[in-house]
Amino acid sequence: MVGIFESLMLICFGISWPISVWKSYTSRSTKGKSVIFTSAIILGYIAGICGKIAGGNINYVLALYILNLCFVSVDFALYFINKKREIKHSIC
């Protein structure tokens, strides 16, 4: 039962990440993004993954942690790509 609730939480949080990645990709902007916030989310997912592995609780929930971490990491990378683009265009 705990796994079901944890999965539901990860799915609810996880729905927002592909949307955020798409927005970052299409807008080519860092507006509304926070490196500190995104870093904290990444750290949280890494802690969740480590907790699953350390506790020997390797199951489908671990896959959700990894999937969410991948999406957040892509959004994190897009932040720096977009920031570089913004700096380049502000100089011109």
Residue 86 sits in a domain whose CATH number is 1.20.1280
55-82: pLDDT as tens digits: 998 999 999 999 999 999 999 999 999 9
Looking at the 3D structure of the chain, how many domains does it have?
Answer: 1
**Which residue range is the domain that position 14 belongs to?**
2-91
pLDDT at 23 over 70: yes
pTM recorded for the entire structure: 0.89
Report in angstroms the alpha-carbon separations of 9 from 23, 52, 75, 84: 22, 15, 20, 34
